[in-house]
Amino acid sequence: MELNPDDLQSTRDYEPKRAYSRSKLAQMLFGFELDRRLRAVGSSVASVVTHPGGALDSLTPSRPPVHVRTTGQRLRAMPAGVLLQGKDAGAWTAVRAVLDPEVRGGQMWGPRMFGMRGAPRLEAVRGRLADERLAARVWDAGVELTGVEPGFGTGQARG
């Protein structure tokens, strides 16, 4: 997946699935860059990237009264359950990143089985995700788009 930091809002070639994929890539790059910047200033705060894998509401246990799955919904979801999981299980990676004292900043965590389902595991950061120049460009574009230059506790803002 290519990401153009000069067009993060996909104004030049919008297509829904491609824009979604690009937004996830940009979000992860931003998380890795945030961790590098936090470490550079000696912060004890860490940024960890997580992803839920394939998490479908139709595979999520009922949550009465908010959501009650019908028998038909459960049956239709069964084939997807071979490769995917419910949103409750998809949240495990984020929960582990927050609670596990062994998790370190700059890491990426996702589901164990093919990155789609299962218990959380540490994943390699490679390819586009390891591109520090691209991550810095995404950071700079975020600053430009929002007008906010994070000061890590100094309250800085661009005016």
39-69 confidence digits (pLDDT tens): 999 999 999 999 999 887 777 777 788 878 7
Gyration radius (Cα) of the chain, Å:
18
99 pLDDT higher than 80: yes
CA distance 60 to 74: 9
- Say whether 123 sits in a helix, a strand or coil: strand
Distance (Å, whole) CA 91 – CA 94: 6
